[in-house]
Amino acid sequence: MIELLQFRHSPFNEKVRWALDLKQVPHRRRSLLPGPHMATVRRLSGRTHTPLLRVDGQAIDGSARILEWLETRWPQPALYPAAADDRAEALRIQQWFDEDLTPRIRRAVLDALLRQPGAFANVFGDGRPALQRRAYAAVLPLAAGLIRQGNGIGGPDSVADGLRAAEQALGFVAERAGADGYLAGTAFSLADLTAGSTLAVLAQPPDSPMAGPLPCGQDFAALLQRFEGHPGIAWTRQLYARHRGARRDFDGPGPVA
């Protein structure tokens, strides 16, 4: 059985979950908590990144690599556009988000969440018993420095840069989406899936796996409020309503780290 090791409410993890759901790939999911995840993931891949797919004893990490692998095994519905120029554009958009926009936006998001450990624990411990979430929130201040460092959150400048990246990404999808709403070509592709997964953190599409638990903490609420009303937020919610399908995340059986 394929297993996805993941964080909840994380753009790269949502990207892979979405592809697995669309292609109806039989699998189970194991949700990890940031911090304690390191030992578990490092044992499997030698790195600490999630998402990580376990397939027949092998580990595949990197959301783009995972999507490529899935496309060869489960070609339908296709996420890679058939036309060469649309495919090249979809891959360019994926790379731009994966390597530039998403990590920058994440700095602003994590900074806001880390200011209220209870909110951070509720988001990443979503679905766990309240006692576990409270215990995680209690120890989180000890790990907060490492999480900031690991994500390049160096101070107010990196947060301001994250906000600029969010404006850039929202502006891009609002401007680029044609009459049919797609970013590369005339059909849903990995470009929409990648941009949508990143922006879902800000759009919180209702009734979706990215709709986070409430209350979400005043700093994170202020961040969401800042972009509410942006046409890029409306694009993301519409994309989710049309293409996300699954309403909830789930965990498969097995121990959680």
In the shown chain, the binding pattern of residues 133 to 172 toward ligand GSH, with x for contact by CB under 6 A and - for none, equals -----------------x----------------------
Pick 103 or 181: Cβ nearer ligand GSH? 103
Q: Is 217 exposed, middle or buried (0-12, 13-18, 19+ CB in 10 A)?
A: buried
Task: Please choose, out of 60-68, 74-82, 134-142, 208-216, the segment that lies near ligand GSH by the rule CB under 6 A.
Answer: 60-68
**Residue type present at position 129:** P
Query: Per-residue x/- mask for ligand GSH, residues 40 to 59, rule CB under 6 A?
Result: --------xxxx--------
Shortest reach from residue 99's CB to ligand GSH, in Å: 7
CA dihedral 168, 170, 174, 176 (to 10 degrees): 50
The distance of closest approach from Cβ of residue 231 to ligand GSH in the complex, given in angstroms and rounded to an integer, is 25
* Beta carbon nearer to ligand GSH, 234 or 251: 251
Which residues between 83 and 122 bind ligand GSH (CB under 6 A)?
98
189 near ligand GSH (CB under 6 A): no
Nearest to 223 by CA among 97, 102, 103, 107: 107
Q: Which is nearer to ligand GSH, 62 or 185 (CB)?
A: 62
Residue from 9, 12, 116, 133 in contact with ligand GSH (CB under 6 A)? 12
Q: Does 7 bind ligand GSH (CB under 6 A)?
A: yes
Give the integer Cα–Cα distance in Å for 178 and 174. Answer: 9
Report in angstroms how near the CB of residue 197 gets to ligand GSH at its nearest.
10
Separation in Å, CA 93 to CA 80, 88, 208: 12, 9, 23
Size, binding site for ligand GSH by CB under 6 A: 15
Tell me the closest approach of the beta carbon of residue 210 to ligand GSH, in angstroms.
12
Q: Rounded distance, CA 147 to CA 26, Å?
A: 32
Contacts of residue 144, defined as CB under 8 A and 6 or more positions apart, other chains included, come to 114, 117
Is residue 63 close enough to count as binding ligand GSH by CB under 6 A? Answer: yes
Nearest C-alpha neighbor of 238 from the set 145, 186, 173: 173
Sole window of 11-19, 132-140, 152-160, 190-198 interacting with ligand GSH (rule: CB under 6 A): 11-19
Q: Name residue 3's beta-bridge partners.
A: 28, 54
Question: Residue 49 or 174: which CB sits closer to ligand GSH?
Answer: 49
CB of 70 to ligand GSH, least distance (A): 13
Note the residues at the interface with ligand GSH (CB under 6 A).
7, 10-13, 38, 48-51, 62-64, 98, 150
